[in-house]
Structure 1
């Protein structure tokens, strides 16, 4: 049980024996004895009662004064001495009570440090307790800024001036600056009259704005270093005692602990954040490494299995989550995955080639596919121009893999081109005994030696020879044909039966690939490998005819050149010309038993005059007109044109010379 409870019981027991007034009530111990028949013992008892009842020093001093009129000198001396002792005891009790209050405040502060996690709340509580315990008008706390070499206000209590709350003190300036610099407490009863401090206009203006006069400052120290100052200040003159300085210093120690704990806590939190960041970075790095490893294995497997550029594009698009477009070195699109076609980003490709890294283009990312300094092609990652570093490295690694595939394709194409070129050369000059071996070699490069085929010829200029041959090689590769140079000519042998259509298509494709007009002469069809040499000669004549007619950049077969084709073409194909020109009329006469061919020949022999033709045939002019209308239905409405008319006359004469007309 506490000492306070025991003391209370003793007081209550003593109260039972206290003297009573004439009315039977206990005497008020806080009042001096006012009876004329009092003894020395009564005055002494009154002193004890005042002490026990928390009487004030003024009440204790009043007892000897009253005793002077009631007691003899000897007893009065005893009462006066007892009064002095009572006053000393009262001061001692007050001092102890004050110390108890201070200790309680320090214990409360220590408890706050243990319980409260908010350092600002602890500092506010310390500053408030300092103000209350010292009975000051104002209390505040400042912290040092080592970088700026100043000390600034951190917490205030009782301050009303915004200027004072925002003031900064240089080291050594003012009372606080001196405390922060020397690590010693300083007190002044009158700040403006104290010359120990370095007064500055800013500090004096702020102190004056707060109307402060007396100031006490003690250092906040951690590990021998001053981190700030704790102040108590009054708006009137005051001398601060050593006990008050010691009390404020104790509170400052607690404040320093709170600040240091806050620093340690912040460092711990920062360390945890850095640790978590490092952990996350390592996790992301490991994840990126595993992802890169899987992507590398996937791309390597595709290359080893002979995967196409389409396979590579699909794999990269799947890994990076964006569209992929692959172009060759000339800007021709080779593959596309998870996106629509895009124009060739030529400028970005050149930048990537020069830097060796991927570069942004519009909202995309472009990477050149290089073999050393040689540009083989490019990759475009669609819709992702600022990827993460790991994704950028993956994309650039995909560029290396793409370059490898393009290089393999080029080497394969070059080898196949040599084989196809050798086949063309040997087909045009080989005898029958060697053609058996050629058939087997043709099959190995994907060419069917048995089926119908057409022969196309174009002329190679020295400047365009390599580019035209490369374009032709890609073209015949798409159509399972052969291509090669023979003398000054580029020769293509393609599966098919329509030489004219094949020549036109090839002229357009080769012209697009070389960005120049390419003229192609065609011949055929021909079965097997026999006859290719002859069709080559015919295609060459067709090419010369096209150039002579001013049809550069066009493609055609001799059969499409009319009588000029007959003159330049294979002499053994005269019947074919007749059939192509007037075959419909011949078939009609054969089916119907008519003689439209004779009518046509007579029509041209009589200068296309209807009357003269009718007299020569001994029929009415209307009959001739009806027969010619039937010819129009069979040959088309333009058969009377000069060009068609010339071709028809030539066909009719060849038909007659061959004995076909009865």
Structure 2
């Protein structure tokens, strides 16, 4: 009974009369009337009737209505100020532990159960606990749920169905909360929470940098006592930090940022993580003794300003919450290290780069998801374009789809290479079990296929077969070109061309089978274009001779009979064809393409030129 009474004591707010209100509740003594002072609050224990329950959640709606939630899957409700409590627990929840409850009125409430795996659940009721609906059940064994929070006015005004929030912290300071919401029902996965926390950490560094920037700008803009206007000189800390922030947000790597920072400060820089391991450096900085580092680190957190070490090296703490390491600056010679604000500004920029680098995997996942959607075309084109624009990918420009299939199980190395490659070229990538898909800006699929094959083969030290298609002129065509690039890869492998690269046009007549929009005229001109042009300019019949030659099973004598000319005439014509097409035109693969091109040319010619019913043989 002691537990129930102790928990019920927290319900005193339900029975405390307003200040100055006459009358008493229960048997507790009240303030003396006429004393002139306000009525003091009183605690009145209320028995819940559930002594075995440890209550963790309390939601007081008004003076008469409140909800309690606790162990054993217990939910209690009172509508008479705590005089009587009704057990309205969800059925089948006896094994759950309810940590939090949020109530909107006497009929509507939401309770949160915590525990490992599926023991974390959310229930809601709209009829005072008569019936409950399970609205969420956790499936991630790593997840931990602590409390519920509702934003009723905003949620109703915006029509939100799902909200996720994470804290905005810098070191030990709570800066605020970052929210993400969806107007449709959405289950936030652990990766979503990790991504939002990464964004919150970056935002926290930005807030800290912004505060410092404002303070530095005030100092930079302060009037000088000895001059009516500012004289030209080196930029102040605020402008330096602004320039470095722009560099970091443009995607510069840590080494590049450190080089710029070292030039601005003068001297050498080194960055260490929380464990004391070197993260990056520009120039050489001697590492101090561990005892001195520990003392300086404590001084840093106590004062918040850079600390000078015994050898003249300066130490500043990083503001990245995920990696609260430190930065060492060794000024040139024995020169002035500059204002402390400048070193703080540099530390903030380095923190920003570290947070951006930590959130890079989440950004890569977004890019992978976008390409997955483009290939599957799960969303309208305008939605894909908007998502791509946020990732700095311009889908309104020509893009090439490439599929790279290494000749060995090296998926992890191939993914790492592809991630770096597409980042520098503002493209997209995704990884499948045995191949990597790339979407890169460009308009020459053949050249890009050969470049990717060469570079990826060198990086992985195994042959890499690459098929390419495009250029895609919008999100709607990416799926089609993906399928075409895949057919090119399969054709190369089927023909024993592992380690080669090709697009549909490189595959000759096979490209006609694989490409949906293959240009037949271009294929014909590529294979027999020089012969057609020669006939047109010199009024010869080399095309007709080629047709007769293949029809006669490559026999010049039988071809002469079909053409009603002397065999020597056919031989001279074949020599001219060799000059135009090269010596390998009679090789089986090339001969097959020639025969297909001749048939296509004849078909197109017949469709364009009316039949005269007469064709005279010419001996040329």
Same fold, TM-score > 0.5, yes or no:
no
Structure label with greater radius of gyration:
1
Please state which band the TM-score falls in when normalised by the shorter chain.
0.3 to 0.5
Length-normalised TM-score, structure 2: 0.43
Greater fraction helix: 1
Length-normalised TM-score, structure 1: 0.41
